[in-house]
Amino acid sequence: MEEIISVEHLAFAYPGMEGQASVPVFEDLSLTIERGSFVAILGTNGCGKSTLAKHFNSILLPSGGKVYVGGIDTSDPDRIMAVRRCVGMVFQNPDNQIVANVVEEDVAFGPENLGIASPEIRRRVDKALKQVGMYEYREHAPHLLSGGQKQRIAIAGVIALEPKCIVLDEPTAMLDPRGRADVMETILRLNREKGITVVLITHHMDEAAMAQRVLVLHQGKVLSDGTPREVFSQVEKLHTIGLAAPETVELCWELNKKGYRLPLDELNPQECAQVLRDWLKT
Amino acid sequence: MLKDITLGQYFPGNSVIHRLDPRTKLISVVVYIVALFCAESWVSYGVMLAFLLAAITISKIPPKSIVRGMKPLIVILIFTGVLNLFYTDTGRVLVRFWKLAITDDGLTRAILMTGRILMLISGTFLLTYTTSPIALTDGLESLLNPLKKLHVPVHELSMMMCIALRFIPTLIEETDKIMSAQKARGADFESGSIIDRAKALIPVLVPLFISAFRRADELATAMECRCYQGGEGRTKMKLLRYGRNDFLAFLAEALLLAVVIALAFFGL
């Protein structure tokens, strides 16, 4: 499959504060993300997840190595807008991403920046709002909406730019369970129905389990990379860096410690229940 | 307590006034203010009040919310009233104590001046209540466009205004949260002298400012991500266009101004 993002020998360090040495985040990181895929990036705090995400969008530029987005070098100053049209970013706090006082005006912000003609902006805004299921709220004031709704507005604001890929940096961290479920459903739908590549940075294992591929970052390096089943069944490896597998896997892992022999690849309660039932029968 | 501030708030609606071009509304408010300052007599005040009430009725804005918006301005209103009451020494003396005298002229002036301020504020409230901040800044940007030739950063100013208005409710909410957090840790905002109370606000303002800067930083990143690169080459979803209603509004405003000036001319 064709790749949309490719990171080649990326090196990056945050400049140090006065008198202190700079803090290296990546020394030699290489990875690729395929077009149309849904990739979850996991890792503990400070492992470089958000820093990596900011490289996909020319917000940060590599100090060594290259990042290519849709074949474009992100460090090319003349192509920054092309990079940003290709990859959209959604951040953790929806309040700090919404520019305008009316939902539809906010969604229109991106296309307006591109200098698109007015009827086309209208079409894109309506389409984006329908895709995230917020069309009925188009004339509301964003600060009166719930967190999940605000985050879906932020997603609409990004897809109105018609990107090929969206990168979401912990989009559900500040939301209640209901808002989380709504946002996840929206993300999955965009990936499946519209073929938009999704890179989801998250702390929630159950969200990562919905992805096609999971990447675990640790100290600026890729620790594991594979399907959720492959990655989460390596429970010990996850534990060594302070992460946990989804609760269903953890349950079976604990049972195995007591001498049972259960598979470690059940990603949701249904699968787990099935495995336990099958095991009880034998 | 902070929830009472409705300054710069927009009430979405679909009345004729809501649908007017923002430029029409901006110019109308300016004309209305000019007319207000030309009005000198009870009769012309009556005309102004009738116009204002008609506009409020058409806009379908609940009058309660306009009254609520006045609350923070009570001090200024009382101050103006009292000052005018005692500062006028013409006319028949009604009450006298010590060196101060209240004359009938003074009473009239005090009522008219506070009335003028009240009508001035309600008029401008009507503008911000019926116009979304984006439409307002769009209108302002378009009206000020000729200044671009003089290198005035018109787009940047209107963008700043728009973001400031957008963040008023967010920051108010944040202030409330910080105040509750500080109260939970024993801070006291309600007792003591004015100086004590002002000092008590420092632990609120410091975190508020820090968080505002962090928000600004994140917002700037998010805006960049959405391809913002200044006003150059930017288009708008909603194009500004004058319609029939705008023409009628201008007509009504011109009529109002003419009537008030005519009344002043005849000394009424």
First vs last Cα of chain A: how many Å apart?
42
Q: Which of A60, A87, A93, A101 to mutate to test the interface with B (most CBs of B within 10 A)?
A: A101
Note the pTM of the prediction, 2 decimals.
0.79
Segment B29-47, tens digit of pLDDT:
999 999 998 888 888 888 8
Segment A139-193, tens digit of pLDDT: 888 888 999 999 999 999 999 999 999 999 999 988 899 999 999 999 999 999 9
Q: How far apart are CA A47 and CA A267, in angstroms?
A: 24
d(C-alpha B174, C-alpha B176), whole Å: 5
What's residue B90's pLDDT?
Answer: 75
Task: Taking each helix axis as running N to C, give the angle between helix B154-184 and helix B133-144, from 0 to 180 degrees, rounded to the nearest 10.
Answer: 150
Pick the closest to residue A263 from A243, A245, A242 (CA basis). A245
Q: Which two tokens stand for residue A39?
A: 């990739």
In sequence order, the β-bridge partners of residue A7 are A31, A67
Query: pLDDT (tens digit, 9 = 90+) per residue, A5-61?
Result: 999 999 998 887 777 778 888 888 999 999 999 999 998 888 888 899 999 989 999
pLDDT digits (tens, 9 = 90+) for B59-99: 888 888 888 878 888 888 898 888 888 877 777 777 777 77
CATH number 3.40.50.300 is the correct assignment for the domain at A3-245:
yes
Domain edges within chain A: 3-245
Cβ-Cβ contacts under 8 Å, B224 against chain A: 59, 84
Q: To which residue do tokens 């963008």 refer?
A: B159
Is residue A174 within 8 angstroms of chain B, CB to CB?
no
Binary contact (B227, A85; C-beta < 8 A): yes
The pairing of strands A213-218 and A221-226 is antiparallel
pLDDT at A24: 86
CA geometry: angle at B220 spanning A26 and B239, to 5°?
135
Q: Tell me the CB-side half-sphere exposure of residue A107, using CA atoms within 13 A.
A: 32
Q: Does B156 touch chain A (CB under 8 A)?
A: no
Note whether B102 and B85 are within 8 A (CB): yes
B236 neighbourhood in chain A, CB within 8 Å = 112, 118, 121
Q: How many CB atoms lie within 10 A of CB A278?
A: 11
**Identity of the residue in B162, B169, B218 whose CB atom sits nearest the CB atom of A100:** B162
**DSSP state string for B81-97:** HHHHHHH---S-EEEEE
Mean pLDDT by 10 residues, chain B (268 residues): 54 84 91 89 88 89 83 86 81 74 82 90 88 81 87 87 85 91 86 83 91 93 90 82 87 88 80
Distance from CA of B171 to the nearest CA of A (A): 10
Distance in Å, alpha carbon of A34 to nearest chain B alpha carbon: 21
* ipTM of the complex as predicted: 0.87
In the chain, the amino acid numbered A171 is P
* Beta-carbon count within 10 A of B140 CB: 18
- Residue B213 token pair: 């800067």
The burial class, CB within 10 Å (0-12 / 13-18 / 19+), for A267 is buried
B248-265 burial, b for 16+ CB within 10 Å, e for fewer? ebbeebeebeebbeebbe
Cα B47 from Cα B52, distance rounded (Å): 9
**How far apart are the CA of A101 and the nearest CA of chain B, in angstroms?**
5
* Rounded-to-integer distance, Cα B30 and Cα B44, Å: 17
Residues near B267 by beta carbon (within 8 Å), at least 6 away in sequence: B41
- Residue B195: is it exposed, middle or buried by C-beta count within 10 angstroms (0-12/13-18/19+)? exposed
